[in-house]
Structure 1
């Protein structure tokens, strides 16, 4: 589970996994199928998900139009209750907080097949945006996600390099994200580094249902 450095400085949002999995076209097909099945769950191109942690809650607005595969992948995990009782297992001040795939005993939570990398969608890794963590191979993202604490242009794609796919942004509770990003961290026997000394637990992730407009009187 040793993070692999991108360069000499901070390692990118590397997904904790038992084995890195290469891209498979079936992953694209699967993602497309469940995108169609669940598109009406929240009838909007910008569904919202509330992440509740033991340090507070924040709300992510998803960009279904620009990151359709990644959004439907994330929503599938939300609907399945996958994120309940997982950790923000990797916290780096002035970089990212990363979670959604590690259980409190620091073992990896089983995930579905990885999906195709949508980092070329035009969404940038700016402060408050949410992206899909992955291994070094580009098409290996599954359940783990991260929130950018600062602008992280080094995670964006280049002409000769895949980036990390942004699929949403925090629209409420960024102060909670900042609070988590500043917890003390250190070496962990399972994760090696950047692990909160006191675990940060994701209690649940749930869709925020749109509020119906109040009827207007004539």
Structure 2
């Protein structure tokens, strides 16, 4: 009996994931990010990063990015978010995904990529925007890169404003480059397919 109590919720969760409409037939889905500094629209590239796009869209469609913060901003480098609530509490993560950094997409200005830990296959829900050409984040023959999976099609000026906000260390969490005034991702929305 105890086994069924454990297995049944797992089956229901996997069925829910299958039921989510993440536009599986759309190679280039679009997502609108409504932030406290304005709106950003990203065009995703499922043809080059199918696992990464599906992972990102699952979080979007479930509403998991709503009311999260951009917790790391480094001028002329990246704007990172997706993993923390406004009180900087860690949010639930799904299983890590395979690193798709060798897909031909480069970490250039205005692209979106998956944040990860040192291990190359540790990306879950955190993402970042490149606010400069950061080709050093691309893969090489000597190291794994960071997977790019789309680019900003609207709101690049919003992203550039975000990159200029004052930041500082957060001693409680031992982080550098945390915005002094929180920037909230109010809502992430998968836009209708064209």
- TM-score norm. by structure 2 comes to 0.87
1:64 aligns with 2:46: yes
Tell me how far apart the structure 2 counterparts of residues 98 and 122 of structure 1 sit (CA, whole Å). Answer: 22
Q: Residues 35 and 161 from structure 1, CA distance in 2 versus in 1: closer, same or farther, beyond 3 angstroms? A: farther
Describe the shift of the 1:112–1:40 C-alpha distance in structure 2 as closer, same or farther (beyond 3 A): closer
1:143 positional shift: 0.3
1:1-218 map, 5 Å: 41=23, 43-189=25-171, 190-211=173-194
Any conservation in 1 of the 2:33–2:185 contact (CA below 8 Å)? yes
CA deviations on 1:158-197 (whole Å, 9 max, x unpaired) are 1120000000000000000001010000111225210000
CA distance in 2 between counterparts of 1:143 and 1:201 reads: 16
- Secondary structure at 2:122 match in 1: coil
After TM superposition, give the deviation of residue 41 of structure 1 in Å: 2.4
Alpha-carbon RMSD across the aligned residues, in angstroms, is 1.9
Per the alignment, do residues 167 and 35 of structure 1 end up closer, same or farther by CA in structure 2, a change over 3 Å counting? Answer: farther
How many angstroms apart in 1 are the aligned matches of 2:24 and 2:154?
19
The SS at the match of 1:193 is strand
2:20/2:61 contact within 8 Å kept:
no
Question: CA 1:178–1:191 in structure 2 vs 1: closer, same or farther (change >3 Å)?
Answer: farther
Q: TM-score, normalised by structure 1?
A: 0.78
Alpha-carbon distance between aligned partners in 2 of 1:105 and 1:192, rounded to the nearest angstrom? 14
Q: Count the aligned residue pairs.
A: 179
Q: Which runs of 5+ in 1 are unaligned?
A: 1-32, 212-218
Gaps of 5+ in 2: 1-14
Q: 1:194 is paired with a residue of what secondary structure?
A: strand
Deviation string, structure 1 residues 78-125 (Cα, Å, up to 9, x no partner): 011000111000001100000000111111111101000000101100
Q: Quick check: 2:110–2:156 contact (8 Å CA) kept in 1?
A: yes
Secondary structure of 2:176's counterpart equals: coil
**Contact in 1 for aligned 2:96/2:123 (Cα 8 Å):** yes
Moved more, 147-156 or 187-196: 187-196
Contact 1:49 1:207 in 2 (8 A): yes
Contact 1:83 1:205 in 2 (8 A): yes
